[in-house]
Amino acid sequence: MSRVNQKTKICVMCGDEKVEGIIIQSGFICDKCEYEIIHTEVGDEKYPFFIQRMKKLWLKNA
């Protein structure tokens, strides 16, 4: 993982164009979504959404 802080990128979670965030397997996750992922409980309704998006990151580069 590396921090991004200069160019805008499209977040793979929310689809928004942002400057700050992380790159995982060449996919960008904005700071807002990263925070939300970290604070989402397994039973939360958004949890499956995050799991599916993360799978796409890993499988895309497999």
Where do the domains of the chain lie? 2-60
What percent of the chain shows pLDDT beyond 90?
Answer: 69
What pLDDT is attached to residue 3?
A: 57
What pLDDT is attached to residue 32?
A: 97
Distances (CA, A) of 23 to 17, 27, 36, 40, 41: 14, 5, 16, 19, 22
Q: Identify the weakest region by mean pLDDT among 1-5, 10-14, 16-20.
A: 1-5
